C-alpha cells in the first residue's frame, strides 16, 4: 500500500472559484467489516458527519478532498470509533506544499 503522505505530495494543484489554490488529495482505507467510515480533522472542525468516505466494495473506502496548502491533522471514524489512519507513517498530520 502506498503511504497517504506520498500520495498527497503527488496530487495536482487546482484553483477554486475564489482564486484560492487547492490540492486534491485522496485518502484510502480498508476495513472488511465497516459499515460507515468518515474523516474528522482540522480541515472540517473535527466533524466526521461532514466528510463521509465512499464505500468501493470489498471493504475499501475512498474520499477525495480539495485542501489549501498547510498542515492538517485527521482521524478516521469507523462505525463511530475514532482511530488513527493505519496507512499514515508516524502521525496523522498532512502537509500540503505550495
Supply the pTM of this predicted model: 0.73
Cα–Cα distance measured from residue 1 to residue 3, given in angstroms and rounded to the nearest whole number: 6
What share of the chain has pLDDT > 90, as a percent?
Answer: 54
Segment 50-79, tens digit of pLDDT: 999 999 999 999 999 999 888 888 999 999
Give the pLDDT confidence score for residue 81 in this predicted structure: 98
Give the pLDDT confidence score for residue 31 in this predicted structure: 96
Give the pLDDT confidence score for residue 8 in this predicted structure: 44
Check: CB of residue 38 under 8 Å from CB of residue 62. Answer: no
Whether residue 36 is predicted with pLDDT greater than 50 in this model: the reply is yes
Radius of gyration of the chain (CA): 13
Pick among 2.130.10.10, 1.10.3720.10, 3.40.50.460, 2.60.40.10: CATH of 4-84: 2.60.40.10
Domain residue ranges in the chain? 4-84
Amino acid at each position: 500500500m502506498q503511504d497517504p503522505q506520498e500520495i498527497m505530495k503527488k496530487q495536482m494543484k487546482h484553483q477554486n472559484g475564489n482564486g484560492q489554490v487547492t490540492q486534491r488529495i485522496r485518502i484510502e482505507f480498508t476495513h472488511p467489516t465497516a459499515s460507515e467510515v468518515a474523516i474528522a480533522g482540522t480541515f472540517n472542525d473535527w466533524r466526521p458527519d461532514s466528510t463521509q468516505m465512499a464505500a468501493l466494495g470489498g471493504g475499501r473506502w475512498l474520499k477525495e478532498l480539495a485542501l489549501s496548502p498547510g498542515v492538517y491533522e485527521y482521524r478516521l471514524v469507523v462505525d463511530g470509533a475514532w482511530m488513527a489512519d493505519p496507512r499514515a507513517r508516524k502521525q496523522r498530520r498532512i502537509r500540503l506544499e505550495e
